[in-house]
Amino acid sequence: MKFKKKIASRIKQFREELDLPQLELAKLVGVSRQTIYYLERGSYNPSLTISFKISEIFKKPIHEIFYQEPIIKDILEGKSLAELREVAKIAGINIEKLASLSEIDDEQLTKDFKEDMLIKIALGLEIDFEDLFEKEAK
């Protein structure tokens, strides 16, 4: 079992280290300020051209700027404690085990969570199972 992942970035961190406003970075990259905003939020995946330009500006390899993280991390971090308690109750696990999902890797996921438990977690989160986890080919 594997998490579905999304592209995340450290653009905001590196931009702030250079004391570079979003608008100025956008001009250097050749995109709108809104594009930089969406890149920083993780709601837009950059083209290779944009990725290379940002890499050149920050003088950092692309893999230090962009990385993959599980989609579930954002989902869990966006839930209130009461919501997390309800999801844990639906899944029949304690809240600490539920919270651990945002920090474990795919190998640990397979060891610690059975598929039926993950289906219940997805149900509690009101998300389709396929939107959180990749089904392995059998």
Q: What is the pLDDT of residue 10?
A: 97
Banded pLDDT at 60 (limits 50, 70, 90): very high
Task: Quote the pTM value.
Answer: 0.72
What's the structural domain count of the chain?
A: 2
Percent above pLDDT 90 for the chain: 66
Contact between 72 and 3 under an 8 Å Cβ cutoff? The reply is yes
Residue 137 has pLDDT above 70, yes or no: no
Q: What is the distance between the alpha carbons of residues 114 and 72, in angstroms, rounded to a whole number?
A: 16
Q: What is the distance between the alpha carbons of residues 5 and 52, in angstroms, rounded to a whole number?
A: 21
Residues 6+ apart with CB under 8 A from 68: 5, 6, 7, 8
Question: Token digits for 54?
Answer: 């940002």
Between the two ends of the chain, the Cα-to-Cα distance in Å is 11
Task: Say if 138 falls within a structural domain.
Answer: no
- The CATH number covering residue 24 comes to 1.10.260.40
Task: Say if 73 falls within a structural domain.
Answer: no
> Looking at this protein, which amino acid is placed at residue 138?
K
Q: Mean pLDDT, to the nearest integer, of 32-48? A: 93
Task: Say if 136 falls within a structural domain.
Answer: no
- State how far the alpha carbon of 52 is from the alpha carbons of 18, 56, 69, 87, 111, in Å: 18, 6, 20, 40, 37
Banded pLDDT at 125 (limits 50, 70, 90): very high
DSSP-H helix ranges across 42-100? 48-58, 62-65, 71-77, 81-91, 95-100
Q: What is the pLDDT of residue 13?
A: 97
Q: What is the pLDDT of residue 138?
A: 60
Q: Are residues 64 and 107 in the same domain?
A: no
Residues spanned by the domain of 61: 7-68
Q: Mean pLDDT, to the nearest integer, of 68-77? A: 89
Residues in the chain: 138
| Lowest mean pLDDT, pick from 18-22, 122-126, 134-138 | 134-138
Average pLDDT over the chain, rounded to an integer: 92
